[in-house]
Structure 1
Amino acid sequence: MKIAIISVSNKGQELAFRLKNKLNEDSTILKTDLYHKNVKNHFPILFYEYDAIIAIMASGILIRAIAPLIESKITDPAVLNVDDNGNFVISTLSGHLGGANNLTNKIANLIGAIPVVTTSTDVNKKLGIDVLANDLYLSIENTHEILFFNKSILEGKQINFTINPNKNFNYLFNYLKNITLELHLSVFYSDDINTDEIHVTLDNHKIILKEKRIVVGIGCRRGKECLKIYEALKNSINEINIDKSRINLLSSAEIKSDEQGILELSDKLNIPINFVELNKLKLFESNDIQKSEFVYSKFGIYGVCEPSALITAGFDSKLIYKKTSYDGVTIAIAISK
């Protein structure tokens, strides 16, 4: 997630600096940029360049600034409102699909504030269909049906999930078992459903949830054993709260194609691995990857785990977990659009 923090007062700017320092330590935050004053000029840029905006200012200033920019809950960034004293963090826009509600709780925890979330499903302890999709990295077809399903969930109606019996959906069942929010559902199986889809139905209404491709990029020192690589992978997916059955592919550079630890891990998890050619890695450009001069001096590429994950995830993919080191193993996670 790319975050912009914008403040208008000196006190708010001090809070922004403190918050940026804390967010820099979070592997799920790719970058945090600070902006100060000039709200009217900054917001049209921030709205399209960042996944989330944290506005440390009065709510009236914020609302007037974003009102002309709001388009859709599907595309609008997450917007949070924080007071100068850091007493409250308010989820203001794109609470579910944009991730504002989850980010609100995270930011509030970091600065010791009270989180304020007002979406109906959350307030009533119900699991919204868009919350489930966001948490499990699923895209939603028929987004106009979200309102119908969430209203039905609020009314306590039972909805139906249909999945393919030939696919491992442990990530879905584990999520539903552990979630504290309420959802009444029945699960059906059909060979006619694509293996990467979940069909949600009720009273002739339908939503199709489709897996975005999640790719774990791996780099490691020569001869690193499978167990150590597996521990690093577990630590990383635990930080973004996904089950290993949700991973679609592993990825690394072709220079690692004979690395036994990585090959054993792919076999152990029953997850295919893609080794990206050096030429593709050399040509790959992204402002989001961390460049290593050491790796470049040895192999002529600036990194392994981040670029290989992004290339394997496909065009317009993005990192959801930046390169993080675990005792000789580096992990990055990318997701398709």
Structure 2
Amino acid sequence: MIKIVYITKRGKQISEQIKKVLDYFYYENKVENIKDFKINGDEKGFIFIMATGIVLRKFLDKIKNDKFKDPFVIVCNEKKELIPLLSNHLGRGNYFSKLIANHINGRVIFTTATDVNGKIGIDELSKILFLETPKRKDILKINKKILEEDINLIVPKHWKIKNLNGYKISYHDKYDVIVDNKIKLKPLRICVGIGARKNIERYKVFWAIKKGLFLRSIPIWRVDAFATVEDKKDERGILETINKFKKPLFIFKKEEINEVYKKINLEKSEFVYKNIGVYGVSEPASILAVKKLTDKNYENIELLLKKFKKDGVTVAISTEQ
């Protein structure tokens, strides 16, 4: 949950604009007046439409705890200038600031050295490329070094990366990312679950997947696998689309799909259950695909994009944590 907090009438107007952006990108959010605002402790981030001083004095000490786990904090003034204040990289404060600014005709004011100098720190790199989180000592070392020189970055050869500010990119046959010739970061597995009505057209599956990946800024080359339920194993629209993407497609049994609903609190559809015997397809299928590739427990798998519907197709995206 992302909370958007305002004080003034103008602040409320900007809050509603921000909410529309987050709604479009399927990020759970809520607008609150400062009088009603409470910190629950499970928020993904906070966007305060008010003076920085109010946030620093009144709320920041109640939010900050650990650089690696803190939710992001963004302050926005009434000129739509957004300042990422806390957890800019690992918490994705920078990402949300830029996303919002681009859609409300706003501007981002950066304060961290790497961002001000147009460089991508290793901690932010890990979020952009969906990598495991770097160690604290490596973040400090690389982010200091990158201000003075470009750093070697070695990525898998099928990754279509050409330019990243602050890095000299080369490729290898391994499925690891190497930073500065010695820091190895494991790419997190990303899987897309697909559900669709019977006899769905291929182009509808294709564009639903593309839209889902767009919503989470994931290029197709970064996807490791697709997944669906056994009832869809012969669905031509799905099979032909996945074949075009040249990615593996995992087929899961109904019993496996329903087992996920016993372990995780996912939205259930009685309509889908009456038709094919499961409460949903895309969300549990994406989770099972990640589990299959990583053998991670359910609590270590994150649903990046909840069920997204488009033209008779449902798409969900999961990754390991």
Is the CA contact 1:15–1:86 (under 8 Å) kept in the aligned structure 2? no
Residue from 170, 177, 181 that aligns with 1:187 = 170
1:96 Cα deviation from its structure 2 partner: 1.4
Is the CA contact 2:63–2:71 (under 8 Å) kept in the aligned structure 1? no
Per the alignment, residue 55 of structure 1 pairs with 48
Question: 2: CA distance between counterparts of 1:26 and 1:116?
Answer: 22
Across the aligned residues of Structure 1 and Structure 2, the Cα RMSD in angstroms comes to 2.6
Question: 2: CA distance between counterparts of 1:233 and 1:169?
Answer: 23
Is the CA contact 1:140–1:207 (under 8 Å) kept in the aligned structure 2? no
Q: TM-score, normalised by structure 2?
A: 0.85
Spell out, residue by residue over 1:253-302, the C-alpha distance to the aligned partner (whole angstroms, 9 max, x if none).
Answer: 22212223323344443322222322233343445x55434213312433
**Alignment gaps of 5+ in structure 1:** none
For this pair of structures, how many residues does the alignment match?
311
Question: 2: CA distance between counterparts of 1:237 and 1:229?
Answer: 12
Q: Please state whether the residue corresponding to 1:42 is helix, strand or coil.
A: coil
Per the alignment, residue 311 of structure 2 pairs with 327
Is the CA contact 1:170–1:243 (under 8 Å) kept in the aligned structure 2? no
1:214 Cα deviation from its structure 2 partner: 0.6
Residue from 211, 220, 223 that aligns with 2:196 = 220
Q: TM-score, normalised by structure 1?
A: 0.81
Spell out, residue by residue over 1:24-68, the C-alpha distance to the aligned partner (whole angstroms, 9 max, x if none).
Answer: 2223x1x112333358x823x2xx312221122321221131225
Question: Given residue 19 of structure 2, which amino acid in structure 1 is its aligned partner?
Answer: K
Higher mean Cα deviation, 92-101 or 226-235?
226-235
Residue from 152, 161, 175 that aligns with 1:175 = 161
Question: 1: CA distance between counterparts of 2:195 and 2:71?
Answer: 31
Counting only pairs closer than 5 Å after superposition, residues 1-337 of structure 1 correspond to structure 2 as 2-9=1-8, 11-27=10-26, 29=27, 31-37=28-34, 42-43=38-39, 45=40, 48-64=41-57, 65-83=59-77, 85-156=78-149, 158-162=150-154, 169-171=157-159, 174-177=160-163, 179=164, 182-185=165-168, 187=170, 189=172, 195-201=174-180, 206-285=182-261, 286-287=264-265, 289-314=266-291, 315-316=298-299, 317-337=301-321
Instruction: Indicate how the Cα distance of structure 1 residues 302 and 12 shifts in structure 2: closer, same or farther if over 3 A, else same.
Output: farther
Question: 2: CA distance between counterparts of 1:101 and 1:331?
Answer: 26
Is the CA contact 2:122–2:134 (under 8 Å) kept in the aligned structure 1? no
Is the CA contact 1:216–1:247 (under 8 Å) kept in the aligned structure 2? yes
Is the CA contact 2:25–2:215 (under 8 Å) kept in the aligned structure 1? no
Question: 1: CA distance between counterparts of 2:201 and 2:136?
Answer: 44
**Alignment gaps of 5+ in structure 2:** 292-297
1:188 Cα deviation from its structure 2 partner: 6.1
1:10 Cα deviation from its structure 2 partner: 5.2
Question: 1: CA distance between counterparts of 2:171 and 2:205?
Answer: 36
Instruction: Indicate how the Cα distance of structure 1 residues 162 and 86 shifts in structure 2: closer, same or farther if over 3 A, else same.
Output: closer
**Amino-acid identity (%):** 32
Question: Given residue 99 of structure 1, which amino acid in structure 2 is its aligned partner?
Answer: R
Question: Given residue 42 of structure 1, which amino acid in structure 2 is its aligned partner?
Answer: K
Instruction: Indicate how the Cα distance of structure 1 residues 117 and 227 shifts in structure 2: closer, same or farther if over 3 A, else same.
Output: same
Is the CA contact 1:160–1:188 (under 8 Å) kept in the aligned structure 2? no
Higher mean Cα deviation, 244-253 or 5-14?
5-14
